[in-house]
Amino acid sequence: MKLSELEPGQNGIIIKVLGRGAFRRRIIEMGFIKGKSVTAITKAPLKDPTEYKVMDYEVSLRKSEAELIEIVTPKEAGLLFPDTGKQALVLNEDQLLTLADAQSKVINVALVGNPNSGKTSLFNIASGTHERVGNYSGVTVDAKEGKFKYKGYTFNLVDLPGTYSLSAYSPEEMYVRKQIVEGTPDIIINVVSASNIERNLYLTTQLIDMDATVVIALNMYDELAQSGAQFDYKSLGEMIGCPIVPTIAKTGKGIPELFEQVIEVYERRSPIARHIHINYGEEIETGIKHVKNLLKEEPKIGIDTSRRYLSILLLEGDRNAEETVSGFPAAKKILTERDIHAQFIKEDFREDVETAFADARYGFIEGALKKTFKEGKTDTLQITHKIDKIVTHKIIGFPVFFLFMFLMFEGTFVIGEYPMQWIEWLVNIFGRFLDTYMNQGPLKDLLVDGIIGGVGSVIVFLPNIVILYLFISFMEDTGYMARAAFIMDKFMQKMGLHGKSFIPLVMGFGCNVPAIMSTRIIESRNTRLITMLVNSLMSCSARLPVYILVVGAFFPGKGGFVLFGLYITGIALAIFMSRLFKKFLVKGEDLPFVMELPPYRMPTLKAMNRHMWDKTSQYLRKMGGIILIASVIVWFLEYYPQDDARNQYYDAQIAEIANNTHVSQEESQKMLDELNHLKKEEQKRNSFIGQIGRGIEPVVKPLGFDWKIGASLISGMAAKEIVVSTLGILYTGGDENETLLKDNLMKAQYPDGRLVYSPLVALSFMLFVLIYFPCIATIAAIKNESGSWKWALFVIVYTTALAWIISFAVYQIGRLLMPL
């Protein structure tokens, strides 16, 4: 608990002191150190501050200061160790001290680094979790948490988004800065790419300005060694006050040594770790000093934020820093002083203040590296340059990209066909077994028609999902995705988007939710919003089961081409709509295209397998969660209400035919199958879902759909896989041999004998599924990222309207060109 929560008369043992800078040093000097007993004496009449006794003397602390001191109390000991019973409430100081020592061995660590530095790979290796790793900016779009134990310590790891700096330029930068300031991690592991040390250390200088406690992981050290470079990283660590540990995250080499160093720094045993000030030169330092002196008059500043760092941000014109001081009584005085010295710096350096600070930081880095680093003679990017000559070529680049895309969809359909048939065969066998050996009744119908017919219809597409993610993972992990954004930037710009928009759009092939979250890599709010609005037009993997089912039934031998065409249609519509939105809805100037092109790296087999298993497990959890629940609901709506009079009528006819000895067995069975089929169809038509489907049938009929297709589209609003599970339930026939959904779709007929489906209807149906109403999770992501329900509702309306228009045009024009 926090010291601020201690009531008068209660005591505890100090675990750790949070905060940073002068405040932390002052508190520690006053005796608030780990292992010391502290007692709350009394509160001031207005409840703040509170008087505490520590080391046999009394001291008062405000609540804001006491909140940054963690303690353990006898009561907490009782909760942590219930076996001690009531005795825990009267633990003596030695017992409390032992408990406090155990509690203090919990270290909160934040991973901070540039994109492509291997930060998330290090997080995965250390914590054992399976977070997504990609070779381009913006994969980690939120903080990921993990926990592991090492040498008696518990490490709470937080993997923050990759960022090049801590300025207010992008949402990612602001998010990382906020987490560091408000999350107050004990240690920051700054992951620095050994292949680009100078650029990566720019972020390190900002962490030093923040007065953060930093340990540097010099990652991808093998690439530096291969280049023949010489780097005295120990001397550099001593120079900047941050221990440096070489690591190779993809193999785990150096990870134990890294966390041993974290323990050394945390326990204040490291001879290297110390706080330094980066010297920005006389003119800048004068400005920092004057602003800092005014900030000292504000008691709230300096508890969790370095005054020097806040002074630097103010001089740089940081908007959030200005908002922080705007509520202070002396805000006007502080900002006026800032303006005066910012103008002095601008005139002295003949450039804006931000550039002056950046130049000074790079000057500091260059000076430090001159003494510790010597470039290698081997060109480690030779292979990258050779590949780039092909994949980024002005003529060859586009065909190569579209070839990759076509191979991805062709492979998804062709390779996935075989394991899909095996799973389909197992589902079929299981369904027949239950149908044969279970007694008639609602339970049998629920299991056979609801769960097997619904969930079983979707789970057969698991291999296709896995293969699709394998292709996408390979393109991301190798670094090719960044090249795709590079070659598409000019084209995207003409269509009203940004080159960086291409990455979230392609990520949408996997899942629209993380794709929408990854729009944070786009600095321009207008472009970010447009990318969110069109992202759902990218065909996610949830739609893939619908495509494979329909393509397999009505476009045999052309699966790869049809899938490729659907995905290209989604891309084309996204570009077309983005152009409209840019022109009429979200106007504004775009920002320059600045994006790192990382070196190509071959992903490890372990990483690929882990990614495949992650997506497989997610899909299986979805089967056992939302798909199962939805299937049961759809079955209930399809099974009820029951019409006893109608059932008795059909049962009587069935019994009469079964007892008729004047017809052959073959003819009798045919008549029974037909009656059972009619009974089921009439039940479905008059069921709850039948009433819903027939209610919207006039709306979907111009698209070539019957009421069953309409009902499946409504259920698919929750998740697109539910479209297949609903079709699996609604198209269950009376013939026990009709167990495959694909066969049932091909045989489905209207009452007048016309086939429900044709290739034209199938195409219209797939286009509607491609475009209409994103799933609920996607809508929620749009609301969260845009900050408004307005845009989420707008996406619902425009995608559904667009889907109806496209499907209507395709079906009606197709009927004119190819009359049925």
20 within 8 A of 211, measured Cβ to Cβ: yes
What confidence tens digit (pLDDT) does each residue in 285-297 have? 999 999 999 988 7
Q: What is the DSSP secondary structure assignment for residue 144, as one 8-state letter?
A: E
CA-based nearest residue to 528, from 171, 167, 173: 171
Confidence of residue 17 (pLDDT cuts 50, 70, 90): confident
Q: Is 640 left (phi over 0), alpha (psi -120 to 50) or beta?
A: beta
Q: Can you tell me the distance from the alpha carbon of 416 to that of 199, in angstroms, rounded to the nearest whole number?
A: 43
Mean pLDDT value of segment 559-587: 86
The proportion of the chain whose per-residue pLDDT surpasses 70, expressed as a percent, equals 88
What confidence tens digit (pLDDT) does each residue in 695-714 have? 999 999 999 999 999 999 99
Given this model, what pLDDT does residue 86 score? 42
CA-based nearest residue to 20, from 214, 223, 195: 214
The token pair that represents 647 in the structure block: 């059932």
DSSP letters for 665-698: HHHHHHHHHHHHHHHHHHHHHHSHHHHHHHHHHH
Q: Can you tell me the distance from the alpha carbon of 668 to that of 655, in angstroms, rounded to the nearest whole number?
A: 11
Q: Is the pLDDT higher at 622 or at 43?
A: 43
Pairing status of strand 50-54 against strand 144-150: unpaired
The token pair that represents 516 in the structure block: 């929408």
Confidence of residue 302 (pLDDT cuts 50, 70, 90): low
Given this model, what pLDDT does residue 802 score? 96
What confidence tens digit (pLDDT) does each residue in 581-619 have? 888 887 665 555 556 677 777 777 777 777 777 777 877
Mean pLDDT value of segment 232-245: 94
Q: What is the mean pLDDT of the chain?
A: 83
CA distances in angstroms from 185 to 119, 155, 160, 408, listed in the order given? 16, 11, 12, 42
Q: Can you tell me the distance from the alpha carbon of 444 to that of 226, in angstroms, rounded to the nearest whole number?
A: 65
CA-based nearest residue to 619, from 405, 465, 788: 465
The token pair that represents 535 in the structure block: 């992202």
Say whether pLDDT at 363 is over 80.
Answer: yes
What confidence tens digit (pLDDT) does each residue in 86-100 have? 444 444 556 556 666
Say whether pLDDT at 372 is over 80.
Answer: yes
Overall pTM surpassing 0.85 (yes/no): no
Q: How far apart are the first and last CA of the chain?
A: 75
Say whether pLDDT at 735 is over 60.
Answer: no
Given this model, what pLDDT does residue 88 score? 41
Q: Is the pLDDT higher at 767 or at 785?
A: 767
Q: Is the pLDDT higher at 794 or at 635?
A: 794
Given this model, what pLDDT does residue 84 score? 47
Say whether pLDDT at 192 is over 90.
Answer: yes
Q: Can you tell me the distance from the alpha carbon of 735 to that of 672, in angstroms, rounded to the nearest whole number?
A: 9
Given this model, what pLDDT does residue 168 score? 64
- Angle formed by the axes of helices 353-372 and 282-295, nearest 10°: 120
Say whether pLDDT at 819 is over 80.
Answer: no
Given this model, what pLDDT does residue 129 score? 65
Identify any residues that bridge with 146 across adjacent strands, giving them in sequence order: 157
Say whether pLDDT at 750 is over 90.
Answer: no
Mean pLDDT value of segment 419-438: 85
Given this model, what pLDDT does residue 340 score? 93
Residues constituting the chain = 820
Say whether pLDDT at 660 is over 60.
Answer: yes
Say whether pLDDT at 634 is over 70.
Answer: yes
Mean pLDDT value of segment 790-809: 96
Mean pLDDT value of segment 657-665: 78
What residue ranges in 565-722 does DSSP mark as E strands? none
What residue ranges in 25-160 does DSSP mark as E strands? 37-43, 50-54, 57-61, 69-72, 106-113, 144-150, 153-159
Mean pLDDT value of segment 442-463: 83
Given this model, what pLDDT does residue 732 score? 66
CA-based nearest residue to 464, from 543, 557, 569: 543
Say whether pLDDT at 801 is over 60.
Answer: yes
Most confident of 131-145, 383-397, 687-701: 687-701
Please report where in the chains the tokens 């005066």 appear, as a residue: 340
Q: Can you tell me the distance from the alpha carbon of 652 to that of 413, in angstroms, rounded to the nearest whole number?
A: 47
Region of poorest pLDDT, from 30-44, 207-221, 483-497, 551-565: 483-497
Please report where in the chains the tokens 């497990």 appear, as a residue: 617
CA distances in angstroms from 193 to 117, 253, 599, 657, 772, listed in the order given? 5, 15, 12, 79, 43
Confidence of residue 764 (pLDDT cuts 50, 70, 90): very high
Say whether pLDDT at 729 is over 60.
Answer: yes
